[in-house]
Amino acid sequence: MDVDLVAERISRLRYPNHALAVVSVDANSSLRIEILAANQYDWQLDARIVDGSTEIFRVFCENDSVHDADVPVRVKCVAGVVGERLAAES
């Protein structure tokens, strides 16, 4: 799904205006959210939707594990938008 970062008030100077979020479900029924944006690192998040919000439990950047404290706010915001859209569709 396309996420308009400007419309969602996520974009800032030097950030791209949109991102592509690819969502899949793995064998454990958790979501894999891949966030791709021009000239940015690729992020992969393992998450689940709980009460309409996204609960992230593992994060990878360029296939390397990342601690929660090191995840940029914009990545968490995009994951939140994805969770809201998925919750609205179900």
Predicted pLDDT at 41? 92
Q: Is the pLDDT of residue 88 over 90?
A: no
Enumerate the domain spans of the chain. 2-89
Tell whether the model's pLDDT for residue 16 goes beyond 80: yes
| pTM exceeds cut of 0.75 | yes
Give exposure, 11-22, as e/b (b: 16+ Cβ within 10 Å): beeebeeebebe
How many CB atoms within 10 Å of residue 37? 21
Q: What is the pLDDT of residues 20-78, one digit of tens each?
A: 999 998 887 789 999 999 888 999 999 988 877 789 999 999 999 999 899 998 899 99
DSSP secondary structure letters along 10-77: ---TTS-SEEEEEEEE-TTS-EEEEEE-TTS--EEEEEEEETTEEEEEEEEETTEE--GGGS-HHHHH
For residue 30, what pLDDT is reported?
86
